[in-house]
A and B are shown apart, each in its own frame.
Chain A
Amino acid sequence: MARLKFLCDTDRCIECNACATVCKNEHEVPWGMVRRRVVTIGDGEPGEKSVAISCMHCTDAPCVAVCPVSTLYQTDIGVVLHDKDTCIGCGYCYYACPFGAPQFPKSTLFGSRGTMDKCTYCAGGPEENGSEEEYRKYGSNRIAEGKLPICAEVCSTRALLAGDAEVVGEIFKERVISRGYGSGAWGWKTAYYPEERS
């Protein structure tokens, strides 16, 4: 069974923000709500790395686990979706998520969070595929059209990969091997005889 995944190749991500803006373009995500963002670590310092972050559609998604009203659910190909009609805006998912993926509208000062919104892997929601209702609540459903998430489709350097985890993993593995300089593999610079590497 395929599982859909995102993977951001930090050796390629140049923080161009295409993924973040195209997401807004595709789903008309309003100002202040960010389904996908690019995070830069060590900004302006040698070793600066950028990585595009959104809902990672975790295998064992903590947001699904904590949601008191079962708004969050996972499809059989691993996409974590949500149901705007049942969400009570409690924010548990936000606390549970390691990536800050769940977003809440900030329309008023007094805590009225409104219902949660997050990356759908461009797979819409529980409404009928391609329906106006689905678009209004969740944005477009590209998966149903046989396409992949728009953020990965337009990534300027093909840093952001999306698709079946096996295929994405193969592509990344090929890159790491062909680059031959090892980075990107966890622990490469620290785990084995770091004193012998400068």
Chain B
Amino acid sequence: MLKRKTTARPTRKVPPSVDTSGIDRRGFLRGAGLTIGGLAASGTPAGLVQAQDQSTPAPTGRTYHKTICQFCSVGCSMWAEVENGAWLGQEPSFESPINQGTHCAKGAAMREVSLGERRLKYPMKKEGGEWVRISWEQAISEISERLMSIRDEYGPDSAYWLGSAKFSNEQSYLFRKFAAYWGTNNVDHQARICHSTTVAGVANTLGYGAMTNTFNDIRKSKSIFIIGGNPAEAHPVSLLHLLNAKENGAKMIVVDPRFTRTAAHAHEYVRIRPGSDVALLMGLVREVLANGWEAKEYIDQRVYGLEEVRAEADKWTPEEVERVTDIPAEQLRNLARTLAENRPGTLIWCMGLTQHSIGSSMTRAATILQLVLGNMGVSGGGANIFRGHDNVQGATDLGVACDTLPAYYGLEQGAWKHWSRVWGESYDWLQSRFVDRELMERPGMPLSRYMDAITEDPEALDQPHPVKAMIFWGHAANSITRGADQRKALDTAELLCVIDPHPTQVAIMSEKTDGLYLLPAATTAEMHGSVTNSSRSVQWRDKVFEPLWESKTDYEITYLLARALGFEARMFRNIAVEGTEPVAEDILRELNKGTWTIGYTGQSPERLKLHMKHQEKFDSITLLGKEEPVKGEYYCLPWPAWGTPEQSHCGTPLLYDTSKPVSEGGLPFRARWGVEHEGANLLAEDSFTVGSEIRDGYPEGTVGMLDALGWASELTSREKLVIAAVGADRFSLRLLDMPEDEAQTAFRDLEREAERLARQGENPIRAFDALSGGSESGQIEEAWQAGGGNSSNSEDRAPVPERFPDYPENALTAIEAYLENNPGSDPEGELSLQDKIARVNWKTDLSGGIQRVMLAHGLAPYGNGKARMVAWNFPDAVPLHREPLYTTRRDLLPEYATYPDRRKWRVPMLFESIQEVNHADEFPLILTSGRLVEYEGGGDETRSNKWLAEFQQQMFAEINPADAEAAGIEDGQFVWIENPLGAIRVAALVTRRVGSGTVFLPFHFAGMWMGEDLTGNYPEGAAPYVSGEAANTIWNYGYDVVTQMQETKCSLCRIRPTGEMAIWPD
């Protein structure tokens, strides 16, 4: 009855390094609150339980591995007990400062992946419509042949590489590199449909698009404002910290169309009409400003654009907010007062805010509210954006995206050259892999539009041919909208390849009889690697057991494909490969060398492993290491951890917190948009981090700026050599390891040679020929000694001191140097070598010298700017409310109409032509979607986990009693949810959790298709335990104007009874 796969299971032992003795009462309350201490504290002798005193000694051969939960982005640690290669037991990791031993249903059931009964076990292909087991050799060889023939016929952009937020950081980086070596930007992952609007919206407001504070820091909040998020189900362990804050007196407010499980714990629940969040947020901004509750000094010093925001917010009177959002005006007023009176307050959001056609405006509106309240950059405050998958933050950071290379470098030539240097690759060769330089620098197609990439009229696509090969590497189809269009696309593609521990919906929804391959990938527990949680801590995850069945790790599959496609020698030239498996630590070391923008440079594998080993030494609130060897460092070096690992930066737990020196985790807002905009100052005024030598705002760092400030001489010879080589475009990786004395000689030789060449009238860059083995002069030394006096730019502008009054002299020097090194447009003709070197900045300096010297002077490498409430590069510079494309409130059109149709990223984007069509008369209910605690994403993994599946066996729709009654529907009956795109058959859950007029669907199910059972299409033994209709089968068109985020929160439907009762489990 109690089945067990493994045989012997003697008593387990407490994992190593966990001292179970002497847990005092305080520790007992703070940490576990119960466990071992519970018995100890009560003074119960161990023998009181029958025959308890004969505990068996631990057997030999048992090993303990600390791994990180594979599900959400909270990043819970757990101990895995392994014997003879089998994962026998899972024990809490009480010492983890994040989860402190706790789990939700998913983490608590993680060991099931090691049983893996419903996993994809072997490589398989469809042959004549039947699944056939094939060998890895055959699979790789056939797939690569088909890929090469597609490449030959249609070009590299006709293969789409859909990656995953389940990738480790190493695999994320490797995957992006792989796509680059293949020669396309058609690469993306779940972040596109998860938090892309957050990343774009918040990065364009604050500087970085990430969660600003930590889960633990929420304990210090005095108000917790959750909008469009249901952490009790999506991030349950975060509630450990939230409820602690609440019990300490924080006011908890939940805004959601549903009375969620999170709302059940809130002080105040606000029911909002889906899609109207900008109206609410701007209404709150107006209330705060109208009452004079804004943080005046803070805004003056650190925030740009208040007047534009005020002008827009003024329109959002409580009455207008009520008209648009259905939130009573009085509740809005109370809400604003609560937020103003309870500072610092944190603002938490998730998919409810991001997945809209105006998602990038909603995320900015939320950030603007926090700025107006002065809640950004303070402990207990912040924009705490809870990311979704376990490594969606890391995969985003490392560029598994169609619009950037790793670490947000973008796709411009400078970015390609930067990464070519890191890879030791020839830029020209890389370019030759692409159709041309234009396509190399043009964003690819986002995953939300992959079906259009396949089926769109070729003439309408901004690339040579549509996509012919679709590789789903850890991505579900049922988490993507427009199911019916997807199905057509999958049937159209020439090659479909699923690389995943599970077959996924792709395997069953396509009617292809050939050209469909399934490759079993190992799960996260079967490989080493680092994973970045939502609050930017980079945790190292140990491999727990060897890949099950015939599955292989992502690293190995990447290598095998690269080898079959002929570029493995180039791609892995600096990465050790054991057999056919690239070494995770080596991949991390390579990415450490290039990720300067976001400070992933300090997180070496050695430092991360040290933190994991000493988890118990970190403070459970601040995450600061209290004892050696991690003293003074923050847990798992939340990025940015500036400089090289040797520089030992402590990591940055709270972004934009000026109360600490930069070297101790402090930061100002990022000076990302230059120093001025339309004559207004974008630099901070009279605000700076503790210890800053420039006691005012300053721009981002360049060699020219260091030099102007007289600090260039602090660079070591090796740093200078690297910088000069980067500036001259003659960098070689060898320079990074050059001993200082050798570097000194080399630098002197270089200067002499360049001078000689210059005297002979030759190009001094050739001086680098000897150095790089592969090519300016008296100019080299001058670059360091140019002094700040090189007259400021000669545009017809007022001199810098007049434009930046009251700035100290060194700030003015820095600004002048910056302006000189960052002219508005590229100058005509070739720059002098001196100028090229002076323009090497904190992002491109591969030596880390600029960052090191700036930190030594208390400066943030990225400058000290203002947060920007007006994003002039966005279609709506100040967030505007626009109705969803499928709206029931046609009375609000045209006042709040959507955008005109447009094009973006190689595909057409429809807005007004969709909204123009009135569906609301026929489909009068609002349809919205969301999550369940037991499942995640497409649910292939969690629905295949028998311990989870049992608790959620039936796909359902939440329907308000009034709507159910009107439609003649009883609780528990099957109903048809119909909308303009089709109908799905689900069980009715009649509940007041949803308001009247709103229907809610969870989105994790698959297997049923508009009433048809497709589960017979799975390969034998690989069907999940639970199947059901996918909400996205009938989900409509709709994309965010900036990021192509899919709209999943606002659709329309009507409900129709079927007359049949559903079977609900007990």
Please give the residue numbers on chain A whose beta carbons come within 8 Å of chain B beta carbons, in ascending order.
Answer: 1-2, 11-12, 14-22, 24-34, 43-46, 48-50, 75-77, 79, 81, 105, 114, 117, 123, 126, 128-130, 132, 135-141, 143-148, 150, 152-158, 161-164, 166-168, 171, 174-175, 178-179
Contact = CB atoms under 8 A, between A and B. Distances in A.
B38 A168 contact: yes
Contacts of B7: 132
Nearest to B48: A77
Contact of B39 (A12, A137, A148): A148
B105 A14 contact: no
Contact of A144 (B55, B111, B265): B55
B104 A17 contact: yes
B243 interface: yes
Contacts of B12: 140, 145
A20 B7 CA distance: 24
A162 B34 contact: yes
Contacts of A157: 102, 236, 239-240, 243
A164 B92 contact: no
10 contacts: A2-B42, A14-B232, A25-B112, A32-B950, A48-B264, A77-B49, A132-B9, A138-B2, A153-B92, A178-B248
B33 A171 contact: yes
Contacts of A33: 1
Contacts of B994: 44
Given A28-B2, A46-B259, 9 more contacts: A18-B103, A20-B951, A24-B947, A50-B264, A129-B54, A145-B12, A153-B101, A157-B102, A163-B38
Contacts of B248: 178
Contacts of B39: 2, 146, 148, 163-164
B127 to A, nearest CB: 34
Interface of B: 1-4, 7-14, 20, 29, 32-39, 41-44, 46, 48-52, 54-56, 89-90, 92, 101-112, 232-233, 236-237, 239-240, 243, 247-248, 259, 261-262, 264-265, 269, 933-934, 946-948, 950-951, 958, 991-994, 1066
B993 A43 contact: yes
B41 A167 contact: yes
Contact of B247 (A28, A135, A179): A179
Contacts of A105: 1
Contact of A164 (B33, B44, B103, B992): B44
Majority secondary structure of chain B interface residues (helix, strand, loop or mixed): loop
A153 B42 contact: no
B49 A75 contact: yes
Contacts of B35: 147-148, 152-153, 163
B44 A156 contact: no
| Nearest 4 CB-CB pairings of A with B | A163-B38, A164-B42, A44-B993, A130-B11
A25 B111 contact: yes
Contact of B992 (A45, A79, A153): A45
B50 A75 contact: yes
Nearest to A174: B29
Given A2-B42, A18-B103, A143 B52 contact: yes
Given A14-B261, A129-B52, A129-B54, A158 B946 contact: no
A18 B105 contact: yes
A127 B89 CA distance: 20
A144 B110 CA distance: 24
Contact of B107 (A18, A28, A136, A167): A18
Given A154-B101, A156-B102, A2 B1 contact: no
Nearest to A143: B49
Given A25-B109, A139-B2, A178-B247, A167 B11 contact: no
A27 B109 CA distance: 11
Nearest to A155: B102
A16 B105 contact: yes
A146 B46 contact: yes
B370 to A, nearest CB: 25
B430 to A, nearest CB: 46
Nearest to A20: B951
Contact of A25 (B13, B90, B240): B90
Contacts of B265: 11, 14
A163 B55 contact: no
A162 B54 CA distance: 23
Contacts of A154: 92, 101-103, 107-108
B264 to A, nearest CB: 4
Contacts of A21: 105-106, 108-109, 934, 947-948, 951
B2 A29 contact: yes
A128 B51 contact: yes
B998 to A, nearest CB: 12
Nearest to B231: A14
Nearest to B958: A44
Contacts of A114: 1
A129 B2 contact: no
Nearest to A77: B48
Contact of A156 (B9, B56, B112, B240): B240
A29 B38 CA distance: 26
Given A171-B33, A174-B29, A164 B38 contact: yes
B933 A135 contact: no
Nearest to B994: A44
Contacts of A135: 2, 4, 9
A142 B691 CA distance: 52
A166 B2 contact: no
A43 B991 contact: yes
B74 to A, nearest CB: 10
Contacts of B992: 44-45
A150 B111 CA distance: 14
A107 to B, nearest CB: 9
Given A12-B243, A148-B35, A156-B236, A28 B8 contact: no
